[in-house]
Homo-oligomer: A and B are copies of this chain.
Amino acid sequence: MKPDLSGLSELEINLATRVSVGDALTRSARMFGERAAVVDRGDSVTYRDLDAAAESVGRALLDAGLERQQPVAMLMGNSWQFLSTYFGCAKAGLVAMPVNLVLAPEDIVWILRDSGTTTIVTDAAFVPLIEKILPALDAVTIVVVSGEGAPAEIAGRPVLSWTEIASRAVDRPLEVLVDDRDTAQCLYTSGTTSRPKGVLTSHTSLMVGGLTNALMQGAGWGSEPTVLLNVLPLFHTTGLNTLVMPTLFIGGTVVLPGPFDPGAVLDAIEAQRVTTVMMLPIMYAAALAAQGQRARDLSSVQLAIYAMAPMPATLLAQVDAAFPNASVILGSGQTEVVPATVLQWPEHRATKPDSWGPAVPTVEVGIMSDGELEATGEEGEIVYRGPHVCSGYWNNADANTAAFAHGWFHSGDVGYLDAEQVVWFTDRLKDIIKSGGENVSSVEVERIVAAVPGVVECSVVGLPDERWGEAVTAVVVASDRSVSDAELEAAVIAYAKANLAGFKVPKRVLVVDELPKTATGKARKHELRATLRA
């Protein structure tokens, strides 16, 4: 049973019934025009202004020649301009592609080439980076710079002023065809090799995931809006999709306090009467220390979320105490599936603090081995299904074939489900370390460490760490026992710092006599991790 829509234009039925992230901002601006959508380092930007700038930016990108579903690379710090650009892309039917700013320039070049982007939107602060990489990016013809002091051109490409295009008057709303399953967002995430993969997420996924997050967070609608403090980078799914998007969907206020500073975070919570905060465990620890030096009023916080990894019990108890009116919950997910699980219910918090909690209502979780679902308690790969699972990876059929085999998304994490359907993470299947919120490819680090003079072989693993979640740890075998362990460690660190992005540099280097190996000579990382943990 399909309706006969032959009397309508495609755009008419599309506008009336579609799922579009751009429409979500339109709606919030209609409803809450004068309310602060963003408080950017103290400056309020209303929904009306955020939406108007998004309309103008979206229109300007189309006027510049961009076509439906083309990517727009965003090399931007956390700011209201970031959010207007993101929603402008959504309104225009383009793909917003925030790029991880802590990657090495060569990685950024690789991503921009792989995506085929013609357009970069950036901040004046990143002009030196753009000047460095642009000569390697022949396809890029449009550069938009936000902020003061941008040059008139970079590497031969004329530069557009973000401020100018965002303030152009528009005489009518930007209404173009957007399909529910059009790609709205592309975020590159590290794979098991050094090649990042572009995770494509549709409007439907972002809407269903956003509503689910809002529901999980008990988000305030109406006269008592959510006030979210976001300190996480907006080029990451956690800050962007878990927090900021659902808050803007329902007319809340997003507070962006600038680069992470524990005192400034506490000041912002007090000044803005923040209701919702999400930080990594290491950030909570820093904030608690700052609170110990000078106590701020944190009573407005109703929800304190931590992410990436279970929090040590002592720290968790301190966070509970510091936020007297807040539920403190753990959210887990990955760029491909966000949200996936929450550790939220009081009885689980009390008895299973080291678990990930159960799946959210729009996700089904299973444990799979060899294409079959495992019974309760059996270990295997954690797999997910649901309407907000990503659409797949860009330009990577092999990765898609592997990721969606047997009709489930394969997370790369190993674990089991208990009788209450609570997820317990036990190991990483793919060779990825999650350190301080970033994915680090063990293989990439191993390739660098193996090139250090004096290292005969090495294995890089993640070990549990209170500060980083997982600490990148290099285990090396020395070629020459006359070199001291300390000298070799220093050499490894120095070489890694010269050749890797900072967050990939090993936090620890251990020198061993030999690595545990499989029959085929592959390092037995599972065994290595278990030994090192013990």
Contact = CB atoms under 8 A, between A and B. Distances in A.
Interface string A407-438: 11100000000000100000000000000000
Nearest to A384: B16
Given A30-B364, A364-B27, A385 B1 contact: no
A366 to B, nearest CB: 8
A483 interface: no
Contacts of A156: none
Interface stretch (A7-15, A275-283, A455-463): A7-15
A392 interface: yes
12 contacts: A4-B396, A12-B404, A12-B405, A16-B384, A17-B404, A19-B204, A207-B362, A215-B250, A221-B344, A222-B345, A223-B346, A250-B361
A124 interface: no
A405 B406 CA distance: 43
Interface in A1-39: 1-8, 11-20, 23-24, 26-28, 30-31
B204 A180 contact: yes
B385 A6 contact: no
A17 B215 contact: no
B204 A392 contact: no
Contacts of A3: 200, 391-394, 396, 400
A397 B69 contact: no
A398 interface: yes
A401 interface: yes
A464 interface: no
Given A12-B404, A17-B385, A215-B221, 6 more contacts: A3-B396, A4-B396, A15-B385, A17-B404, A27-B363, A207-B208
A171 interface: no
Interface string A337-360: 000000011110000000000110
Given A2-B69, A407-B175, A23 B215 contact: no
A95 interface: yes
Contacts of A27: 359, 361-364, 386
A183 B16 contact: no
B31 A358 contact: yes
A1 B386 contact: no
Contact of A219 (B6, B95, B215, B391): B215
Q: List the 4 closest A-B pairs by CB distance, nearest first.
A: A3-B392, A7-B401, A15-B407, A4-B397
Contacts of A344: 221-222
Interface string A184-225: 001000000000001010001101100110111011011100
A329 to B, nearest CB: 11
A475 B6 CA distance: 39
Nearest to A391: B3
B23 A364 contact: yes
A39 to B, nearest CB: 21
Contacts of A394: 1, 3
A115 interface: yes
A71 interface: yes
Given A12-B405, A223-B345, A397-B7, A186 B362 contact: no
Contacts of A162: none
A457 to B, nearest CB: 34
